[in-house]
Amino acid sequence: MERKPTKISIIGAGAVGAACAFSIATQRLCAEIVIIDVNKEKAEGEAMDISHGLITMGTMNIYSGDYSDIVDSDLIVITAGVGRKPGETRLDLANKNIAIARDVTANIMKYYNGGAIMVVSNPVDVITYLIQKESGLPIGRVFGTGTVLDSARFRYFLSTKIDADIRNIHGYTAGEHGEAQFAVWSSVHVSGMRLDSFCEKKGILLDKDEVMRETVSSGAQVIKRKGVTNYAIAAIVAELAATVLKNRRSIFSVTSLLDDYYGIGNVAISVPSFVGDEGVTGKLMYDFTQDEMENLHNTATKIRAFMDTLGI
């Protein structure tokens, strides 16, 4: 049977959307990329600019379009929305970006005929929940990048503290992509060795609170200096895109609608989940410690209460 070409549609041609398109293109993840934005000239310019570098990337069809062009997409990436300003939390963005998300969802569903939908727009937990509900798609078909970027930052800061290769450090954060996230310390190991044992044998006094402070504040620190965070999230989006297109069923701490996950439901937060060609295909019932379980429930309660105030 002839294999159909792979296709990714990106909604939003701002700094994040453009960086995502470039990262996906440089990794040669698909045969076709369409970039869609209300600013049609901006989308066209981004598509042209990336296409001019195809000599180093291989054969791809990269172009700007409208919502009708999402037909036959294997993956739809949503980056549209207002960016976070210095001093503004991700949750502060909600009122600004909910209206945009509703409009994007309505337009996607006019032409949608399959594929996973990955949400990048912030606040990603709220927007993922909204799009999942309003799209009417099966649970998990819509998922957000969640704390995958936070987990990458977490591992980076750990690597600087314990002087170890980041590729040998494994662990993640969960909950909200924002201030209410928490480190799943029970998951952290260095080349198979528990973090605490590694630090003890190396004589390292690790300040775990400091690691989390740096992890949580790092996005705001980047925004303070350059006005936007776009490169790291673009790398994460490309990694998740490859996971979807290749149906790897890899485990990532992405955000998706929970339905009785350790008693948590009707909210979208990040927990370890299996990601494949249909989005989130299942959640891993991780062996959280009692403190981690409390943090998870507290985060869910916080996000649910916030969405209640928004009428979602």
Catalytic residue IDs: 177
Query: Which of 108, 105, 109, 106 minimizes the C-alpha distance to 127?
Result: 105
Helices (H), the chain: 15-26, 40-51, 94-111, 124-135, 148-162, 195-202, 208-226, 231-245, 290-310
How far is residue 266's CA from residue 260's CA, in Å, rounded to a whole number? Answer: 8
Strand ranges across the sheet with 250-261: 61-65, 32-36, 7-11, 75-78, 116-119, 142-144, 250-261, 264-276, 279-283
Q: At 139, phi and psi to the nearest 5?
A: -60, 130
CB atoms within 10 A of CB 137: 19
CA distances, 160 to each of 204, 211, 220 (Å): 12, 10, 19
Structure tokens at 197: 């044992």
Q: Do 69 and 36 contact (CB within 8 A), yes or no?
A: yes
β-pairing verdict for 189-190 and 169-170: antiparallel
CA distances for 293 relative to 54, 118, 162, 194, 299, angstroms: 47, 26, 26, 20, 10
